Amino acid sequence: MAGRNAFYAQSGGVTAVINASACGVLQTARRHSGEIGKVYAGRNGILGALTEDLIDTSVEPETAVAALKHTPGAAFGSCRYKLGSIQEHRGQYERLIEVFRAHDIGFFFYNGGGDSQDTAHKVSQLGAELGYPIICVGIPKTMDNDLPITDCSPGFGSVAKYVATSLREAALDLTAMSRTSTKVFTMELMGRHAGWTTAAAALAGEREGDAPHILLLPEVAFDEGRFLAKVEDALARYDQCVIAVSEGVKGPDGEFLSATGLKDSFGHAQLGGVALRTSDLIAGKLG
């Protein structure tokens, strides 16, 4: 006899390997049919549970499941939707439990970043409070590579390769034109609090003097004087300067250099434009 059913959903920005994680969940569940019955996938993340828009993956053949490893995008759709606190949004959490109960779901697999892991934890807490036994598992997925107790998050490897390749290509273009044209190129990269993505840009260089020449990480406060001195040094040595900068770089006061004053759908400060700001600084101070 099959065990209780499972609910799987994908959340947040889509990485190149999010569907490979989905494949792992589905194939593993099928190998343990005595403990896990059907796996329902939520359409567009947690919204699929709230609206009871569930995809029965048990009707899919093994070949279709295996093909997920090579399928781009998010096979079941993703979302940027953060559940609030249980106290303030209790109705939503009770709705989740209601849907889970209706479909005999005893396992909740949520594939996402930090906010998604937080959601899985909250659902687990509410299940215990309401006397509904459910095992909640957060599946790591974030190219930022900043999830606690996770050595390497699926998604980081793909972005590291992409960043290093893109920066190297841009640097070669700069080299071709730097004698008579642009001498400084800045690439802005994702990373609100973690500098893994920007640090991966260092993979573009193979020899002394190769780009990038400067990395600006969110873990290190931006020092204008030191930064400009390094730019001047790179120009003197190589006649060009390639910079990789995290969107989350902060000034000495701890404020984001690129804060727009807006909030994203998760309530985080909307960032963007730090490359333009540092480039304007170089143009204004160094001509």
Closest CA to 9 of 145, 115, 85: 115
Q: List active site positions.
A: 144
